Every structure is written in C-alpha cells, then in structure tokens.
Amino acid sequence: AKIGSRVQIGYFSQSYERLNPEQTLLENFVVEYGFTEEHTRSMLGGMLFHGDDVFKKIGELSGGQKARLVLLKLVLDGANCLVLDEPTNHLDIMAREAVEAALEAFDGTVLVVSHDRYFVNEVADRIWEIEDLEVKDYKGNYDFYLEEKQKKAAALAQAQEEAEKAAAYAEAQAKKQQQQVAAAPAKAKKQEDKKRRYSQDEAARLLPKVELQIREQEAMMGLLEKQMADPANHTSPEHSAAMAAEHDEYEQTIDELMEKWELLMEAAEDA
C-alpha cells in the first residue's frame, strides 16, 4: 500500500488498546488531550455519555461503550483515513446509530471491515470484495453490491446454458456426420436404384409398400413434433438436440421414400 504524504490513518481495533481501564472517562480525556472538564463532557455527550457516566472507570464499561470512546479518540487525533475493524460489535441500536451519524459526518475516508450488513449499507458508498485473489470494486452501497452480484450470476448462468446448448448441438452434428459416413454405402446403392427404371410388375408390387412406409414415417414424425412443441420435454439442451436430430432423420427418410414413390409412379404410368 502506498500512503499519501497528507494521509493520517486512525485504526480501530476490537481490543481497544488505547484505553486505560483504571482511569475514568473524564480522566482519560483530560490527561491525554488536556481538555477542560466542560469541553470533555460536551464531547463525551456526543457519544451518548451523560451525567455521572463520565466518572465511570473505563474497565467497567461495556464493549459498545469502549468502541464509542475509541472512535471519538480517532476523530480527535485528526485522522483523515479511518480503518475500522468491526466497529459495531457489541453496540446496541442507539450506539450504532451514533457511530453511523459520526461516520457520515466525517470528511475523510473510512475503510470498514464488517459483518454488519445493515451498517455497511448505511455508511458505505463503495464495496470491495476479495475473490479469487483479486479485489473487485463495486461503486455503491451493499444493496447495489447484491444487485450487481445477481446480475453477474444470471449472466454466468446464461453463458453456461448457451455453452451447453452449443456443445450439445456440436455433439449431435458430429453424431449425424458419423451416421452419414456409416450410411454412405447404403446411400450409394439408393442412388443406383434411382438410376434404374422399375418394370410395371415391380411398380405394382412396390407402390403399396412404399406408400405405407411414407404414412408410417409421417405419423411417427407427427408424434415427435407434438413432443417437441411441449416445453416440458425440453428439460436439457442434450434432450432438445436429440429430438431435433431424430426429426431430421424422419425428414430425410420421407424424402427418400417420396423419390422412390415418384420413380414407381413413372414406371406405372409408362406401362
């Protein structure tokens, strides 16, 4: 860290090292700062210490009361950069509100480490999050930080979903290509069959069979299309891609059967 020449850091520790437990509040401030009793009472009153509270020994104070004293000392020291370690620990609602008001009125920089999300949301206008060995900067309060985190999570989920769809599509295409390679000999035979002419007897014998096959394939494809139209059947990118590949196969088979049917019809008409 590089500290500017005019930066004076005040550190708030949870152990309250600067407080002498044997001194009263009044003694501690008069001795350390040389203030008058009247001025000391006025400052302590701003941190919710009133009346005979100033005569209590520091060792008898609660954790929240000690925290308020330390914060007051940091301000009196002239610090323009406060580093606060869990400043609201042990504080009741009134004390926490007093600390919030003091920090909001403070002109310098405040760096807070805190698990008190409400407190952070009230006083912070910038959130630093340490994640994956990096400091991520969110220029807003805690609510803004949560909104940005949700946006990032949604964008990441969408990117992952798109990547899964792309992978499923690529897998389906690769499978389709493998099937095409495996079916190449059969396809070549079909091409040869197209070139040859059918006799009248062949046409009469094969036409009913081919028409039945076409109707069967169209019926199967119709059932598949109903399944594809139902959102409940798209539970994963892989399943959607598999249905699309199956639909392509039905279309290809029907096209081939229609070509054969046309050849058979020509043979029957020529007769």
Burial status of residue 242 (CB atoms within 10 A of its CB: 0-12, 13-18, 19 or more):
middle
- More confident site: 243 or 89: 243
Measured distance CA(107)–CA(11) in Å, rounded: 16
Say yes or no: 209 and 115 in one domain: no
> Is 23 within the bounds of a domain?
yes
- Spell out the alpha helix ranges (H) of the chain: 25-33, 37-46, 63-76, 93-105, 117-123, 142-182, 184-195, 200-229, 237-270
Locate all alpha helices (DSSP H) within 81-183, ordered by sequence: 93-105, 117-123, 142-182
Q: Please indicate, yes or no, whether residues 114 and 191 belong to a single structural domain of this protein.
A: no
63 in any annotated domain:
yes
Q: How confident is the model at residue 236 (pLDDT cuts 50, 70, 90)?
A: confident
Does some domain include residue 236? Answer: yes
Residue 150, in any domain of the structure: no
**Within this chain, do residues 101 and 191 fall inside the same structural domain, yes or no?**
no
Q: What pTM did the predictor assign?
A: 0.52
Please report the pLDDT score of residue 16 as a whole number: 67
Which of 100, 124, 148 is the endpoint of a domain?
A: 124
- At 1 the pLDDT is 80
Mark whether 32 and 108 lie in a shared domain. yes
| Local confidence band at 218 (pLDDT 50, 70, 90 cut-offs) | very high
How many other β-carbons are positioned within 10 Å of the β-carbon of residue 120? 18
For the domain that residue 49 is a member of, what is the CATH number?
3.40.50.300
Domain count of the chain? 2
Residues 189, 112 within the same domain: no
Q: Are residues 42 and 118 in the same domain?
A: yes
Same domain, 96 and 191: no
Domain finish residue from 124, 153, 171: 124
Do 30 and 104 fall within a single domain? yes
Torsion of the alpha carbons at 139, 141, 144 and 150, rounded to the nearest 10? 100
Residues 109-123: tens digit of each pLDDT: 999 999 999 999 999
- What pLDDT band is residue 32 in, cutting at 50, 70 and 90? confident
**114/19 same-domain check:** yes
Residues 50-103 have pLDDT tens digits of 899 999 999 998 877 887 888 888 888 888 999 998 888 777 888 788 788 878
CA distance from start to end of the chain:
97
Dist CA 96 CA 117 (whole Å): 12
pLDDT in tens, 150-176: 999 999 888 888 888 888 888 888 888
Task: Supply the pLDDT for residue 15.
Answer: 67
> Domain check: are 192 and 118 in the same one?
no
Phi-psi domain of 22 (left: phi exceeds 0; alpha: psi -120 through 50; beta: other): alpha
Mean pLDDT to the nearest integer, 243-260: 90
CATH number for the domain that contains residue 215: 1.10.287
Residue 167 resides in a domain: no
Q: Is 130 domain-assigned?
A: no
Q: Domain of 16?
A: 9-124
| pLDDT number for residue 271 | 54
Does residue 248 sit within a domain? yes
Residue 135 lies in a domain: no
Residues 98 and 189 in one domain: no
**30 and 118 part of one domain:** yes
